Amino acid sequence: AQSVAQPEDQVNVAEGNPLTVKCTYSVSGNPYLFWYVQYPNRGLQFLLKYITGDNLVKGSYGFEAEFNKSQTSFHLKKPSALVSDSALYFCAVRPSYNTDKLIFGTGTRLQVFP
């Protein structure tokens, strides 16, 4: 079955430290991969995507993600965390080119402490 896993329900990091939010996927073919962020009582906001090309993609608010085909992972990273980065983060995958839908992970809550 096609799926997306976010193995950590919560990630805690001190402000100024690097952060990583993990995502692994299980789909056939060449997936499209996305990261979204959700602030309290708001809808999801698109952060970045990987379709093809360079394995390191850069997105909004200083976030980046690294696509690793051999490990079927697409981890979200930021070199220096801010308190304002505290939010719920979702990884999503579009399984193949001829699929109209996204499969979302269950979300990881990022808490950045001052």
Q: Which of 33, 9, 34 is nearest to 110 (CA)?
A: 9
Using CB under 8 A, count the residues that bind other proteins. Answer: 22
Query: Distance between CA atoms of 13 and 5, rounded to whole angstroms?
Result: 21
Number of residues in the chain: 114
Q: Is the dihedral of CA 33, 7, 90, 48 positive or negative?
A: negative
> In angstroms, what is the minimal distance from the CB of 80 to other proteins?
24
> In angstroms, what is the minimal distance from the CB of 72 to other proteins?
18
Interface residues for other proteins in 37-56 (CB under 8 A)? 41-46, 49, 51
58 lies in the binding site for other proteins (CB under 8 A): no
β-partners of residue 68 are 73
Binding site for other proteins (CB under 8 A): 9, 32, 34, 36, 41-46, 49, 51, 90, 94, 99-102, 104-107
